[in-house]
Amino acid sequence: MNHKELDAWKAAMDLTEKIYRESMSFPKEEQFGLISQLRRAAVSVAANIAEGAGRNSDQQLLQFLNIALGSLAELETLVLLSFTIGYLEEKNKEQLLNSIADSSKLVQGLIRNLKKKSNPARPFTTH
């Protein structure tokens, strides 16, 4: 499976770009704090999707997709914190949270599809 063809990966890359752009306006003293943490969490989402897809194993991909979900939850928390302390405007916070939610839905959908693939429903038979 080529990760570049996955909608979840494409959305994660878009989200990462948005995080980088938004965090450029944060105070310079946050360069090694909140900015770094936000960017690492965002990069982690796309990177884990790519790494899992590159493993050529559905079980490994599932493991990395779950890690990506964890990074999305971390990213959501960091965006909320950035807003709370005044680094993000309401509009920008909402846009980022919507992008995070969209990415999360795509990753969860991929997880569901992989689980269905590995545990297909058994056909109903009568005896």
Predicted model pTM: 0.90
- Out of 3.40.50.970, 3.40.50.200, 3.40.50.920, 1.20.1440.60, select the CATH number for domain 3-117: 1.20.1440.60
Helices 7-23 and 90-118: crossing angle, nearest 10°? 160
Class of residue 119 by CB neighbours under 10 A (exposed 0-12, middle 13-18, buried 19+): exposed
Q: What is the pLDDT of residues 3-31, one digit of tens each?
A: 999 999 999 999 999 999 999 999 999 99
- Per-residue pLDDT at 125 exceeds 60: no
Round to whole Å and give the CA distance between 30 and 53: 33
- Segment 82-89 shows an average pLDDT of 96
**Mean pLDDT across 72-76:** 98
Looking at residue 59, its pLDDT comes to 94
The pLDDT value recorded for residue 28 is 93
Lowest mean pLDDT segment, chosen from 34-48, 59-73, 113-127 = 113-127
The pLDDT tens digits of the residues spanning 40-61 come to 999 999 999 999 999 989 999 9
Token pair belonging to 36: 């770094």
Six-digit token string for 65: 């997709």
Average pLDDT, integer, range 83-88: 96
Q: Summarize pLDDT for 88-122 with one digit per residue, the tens.
A: 999 999 999 999 999 999 999 999 999 998 776 65
